[in-house]
Amino acid sequence: MVADRTGDNFFNFRFPEKEGFLYGFNLYALVSGNDVLLFDSAFRTQVTKVKKHLASEGLKLTHVVLTHFHNDHAAGLVSLKGDLTVLGSPEYRKTLKKNIPQTVTPVSFQSGYTFGDFKLGFTAAPGHSPCSIFIDINGRYLHAGDNLMGRYDGTAILPWVEFDQLENHISSLKMLRAMGRDRVLLSHGPELSGRKNINRAIDDRLSYLETVLDTGGKCSFEEAVSGCSCSFTGKEFFHDLLSR
């Protein structure tokens, strides 16, 4: 794990892919006094390392905000205490598979959430999962969860989505594009920065998803990605999409 502390109050914990795995993890955290708010827990292995690192700096994990509740984002909650404040989409029950010891507090899309000097804003972004959300952090960063995914080195990963959620995923990506953000955080892969770069990353996903939708899934992988400027890894997600 690489732990970067940017400024005084912002952490980026990076976990490269384990051998044979498609993706690693990027976990971000905010600090207020001695308290820490973490975005996503990942699995037990990752969150345990994060906790240990925080403890070594005299800090305590008090909050976890979930971008969505797939296991690779939420399973680590099982190893954390019940008194932790856990926040996520009001739709979390549709996705959460684990019995977690915490109570999930649904986020408010109207009023957001304040953590020390940080003001978080939430927007529903269904598609990748019914409970996916965009999280605005002080108007500076936009955490897009798995709406866009990359490998540790930044290689684009094909979107993961079920066929009946294609339209939702497309709508959420169009909404993200319309937000016009300059710094987008991902749960897998490095931060995307620069409007042009971000738009290109979104457009590549849109081209793929719209081709699959428009052809009713009757296209080859090569046809599905023919309009994309990047070369995607994660071809298995194309087969997952068509087999459901």
What residue ranges bind Fe ion (CB under 5 A)?
72, 146
- Select 72 or 167, whichever has its Cβ closest to Fe ion: 72
Question: Encoding tokens for residue 75?
Answer: 């399973």
**Minimum distance of Fe ion from residue 96's CB (angstroms):** 14
- Select 72 or 191, whichever has its Cβ closest to Fe ion: 72
Per the DSSP assignment, residues forming a β-bridge with 4 are: 12
- Select 23 or 115, whichever has its Cβ closest to Fe ion: 23
- Select 23 or 113, whichever has its Cβ closest to Fe ion: 23
- Select 31 or 92, whichever has its Cβ closest to Fe ion: 92
Residues present in the chain in total = 244
Residue 78 burial class via C-beta count within 10 angstroms: exposed 0-12, middle 13-18, buried 19 and up: middle
HSE-up of residue 70 (Cα within 13 Å, Cβ side)? 15
Q: What whole-number distance in Å separates Cα of residue 176 and Cα of residue 145?
A: 12
Residues 6 or more apart whose Cβ sits within 8 Å of residue 13: 1, 2, 3, 4, 25, 26, 27, 28, 29, 46, 49, 50, 53
List, as one string, the DSSP characters of 123-171. Answer: EE--SSSTT-EEEEETTTEEE-TTSSEE-TT--EE-----GGGHHHHHH
- Select 35 or 72, whichever has its Cβ closest to Fe ion: 72
- Select 146 or 204, whichever has its Cβ closest to Fe ion: 146
**Minimum distance of Fe ion from residue 21's CB (angstroms):** 11
**Minimum distance of Fe ion from residue 120's CB (angstroms):** 20
**Minimum distance of Fe ion from residue 48's CB (angstroms):** 18
HSE-up of residue 146 (Cα within 13 Å, Cβ side)? 26
HSE-up of residue 121 (Cα within 13 Å, Cβ side)? 10
**Minimum distance of Fe ion from residue 142's CB (angstroms):** 17
**Minimum distance of Fe ion from residue 150's CB (angstroms):** 11
- 158 with 230: CB under 8 angstroms? no
**Minimum distance of Fe ion from residue 174's CB (angstroms):** 21
